[in-house]
Amino acid sequence: MRPVYFDNNATTRTDPAVVEAMLPFFTEHFGNASSTHAFGERVGEAVKAARKQLQALLGAAFDHEIVFTSGGTEADNAAILSALETQEGRDEVVTTTVEHPAVLTLLAHLEKTRGLKVHLVGVDGRGRLDMDAFTAALSPRTALVTVMWANNETGTLFPVDHLAQLAHEAGALFHTDAVQAVGKVAIDLKATAIDMLSLSGHKLHGPKGIGALYVRKGVKFRPLVRGGHQERGRRGGTENVPAIIGLGAAAELAQAHMADELTRVKALRDRLEQGILQQISHTLVNGDSDNRLPNTANIAFEYLDGEAVLTNLNRAGIAASTGSACTSGSTEPSHVLKAMNLPVTALHGAVRLSLSRENSGEDVDRALAVLPEIIDRLRAMSPAWLARSGGQGAQGVPDHV
C-alpha cells in the first residue's frame, strides 16, 4: 500500500516534468548566464524564458519585475529590509500576529536591534484580520505593510488587494508573503496595488532552494545580496540556473493545473474534512472555512496532543503536520492558533492536512479508514479526555462539534 502524503504546505514533490526540464542545465547547458559567448547566451535565454513563465503565473506586467532568490525567506527579508531603506522618514511596519516566522523573526530582530516599531494586528477566531485594528495601525510613519496572502497553517486567505490600497493611502509600501497562495489560487498582479510579493518553488512542485520576489516597476529597491550585476543589480551572485529553469517549468504546470486545484483538489479536501467531522467527536475546523486555500484542512482533535496523532498517522503510512515545518519540534502551541484564541482543550491537538494535485480519492479513503481508530485509541489513554467523559472512553460522548 503506497504512502499517503498530506503535507504539501510544507513541501511538494518536484514534478518529474520539472526535473526533466532542469537536467540539461547541469551538464549540457552549463554556461554562466552572464557570459557573452554562445554557452552563456543560450543559458541566458533559458533564464529569460523561465522568468516569463513565472510572470504569466503571477499576472505581472513585465518579466523584469521578477527577481530570483534562494527561496521565500530570502524574498521576505529582501522586501522588508528594502522598504525600510527606501521609505525615508518612516520607521514603522504593520503586520499580523499569524505571519510566517520568515517575517516575524526578522521583524522581532529589527525591533530589538534597530528600534523598529512593529504593529502586530490580531485576528478573530476564524483567522480573519481585525480590520479596525489594521486601519488604526497605519500612520504617516508606516514604511511597509506586510501581510501574507494565505496562512500556511489554516489556509485562511487575506484581502491583500484591499489591504494594499489602504497601505498606499497611508503612503506606505505593501508586501505579501504569497508562498502558500502561488499556484493554488489565481493571481493577477496587474490588477492589484501590491508592490512586492514573495514565493517559493518547492511549494508548487518545483525544486527547493529557489524562489522569487516580485517588485512592481517603479518601486524603489535596495538589494539584500550585494555583489555582481545579476538580476539587474537587485540580487548579486551567479544564477542558480537549473533551479530557475525548474521554477519556470513548475509555474507553467501550476497555471495549467489551476482549475484542477480549485475544483478536484478542493472537493477531495472537503470530503476528507467532512468525513473526519462525521466520524470523530469533538473536532474543530480551524480557519475561515468560507475563504481559504482549496487544499488545506486544519483540524483540532480536542483533549489530544497533535504530535501523538501525527506519530500514529506516520506509522499508518500517512504524512501530515501540526503546522509550519519551520517550527517543527517545538513544544509550544502554534502561534497562529494561539492568536485565534483556540479553546485550551484543542490548542495542542491541531493537525494540518494539506493536499495537492497528486492526491487521489483513495488517499482520502485511506485516511478516513485509519484516523477514527487512532483518535479513539489515543483518547482512551488521555487523562483529560477520560476526565471530561466521566471515564467512559472515546465512546462516552457521541456528539460531534
Show which residues are catalytic. Answer: 326
Q: Counting beta carbons within 10 angstroms of the beta carbon of residue 86, is it exposed (0 to 12), middle (13 to 18) or buried (19 or more)?
A: middle
The rounded distance, in Å, linking the Cα atoms of 162 and 150 is 14
Instruction: Count the neighbouring beta carbons within 10 Å of the beta carbon of residue 13.
Output: 13
* Cell, residue 175: 508586501
Within 10 angstroms of residue 15's Cβ, the number of other Cβ atoms is 21
**Does residue 228 contact residue 241 with C-beta atoms inside 8 Å?**
no
| Exposure string for 262-271, b = 16+ CB within 10 A, e = fewer | bebbbebbee
Give the Cα separation of 206 and 208 in Å (integer): 7
Burial state string for 303-338 with b = 16 or more CB within 10 A and e = fewer than 16 = bbbbbbbbebbeebebbbbbbbeeeeeeeebbbbbe
DSSP symbols for 202-234: GGTTS-SS-EEEEE-TT-----SS-SSSGGGGT
CA 286/CA 66 separation, integer angstroms: 34
Q: Which residue carries 517550527 as its cell? A: 327
Distance from C-alpha of 40 to C-alpha of 294, rounded to nearest angstrom:
41
Three-state DSSP class for 15?
Answer: coil
Name residue, grid cell 490580531: 122
Sign of CA dihedral 124, 125, 126, 127: positive
Rounded to whole angstroms, the Cα distance separating 168 from 189 reads 15
Amino acid at 384: A
C-alpha cell at position 300: 483540532
**Nearest of 42, 16, 13 to residue 241 by alpha carbon:** 42
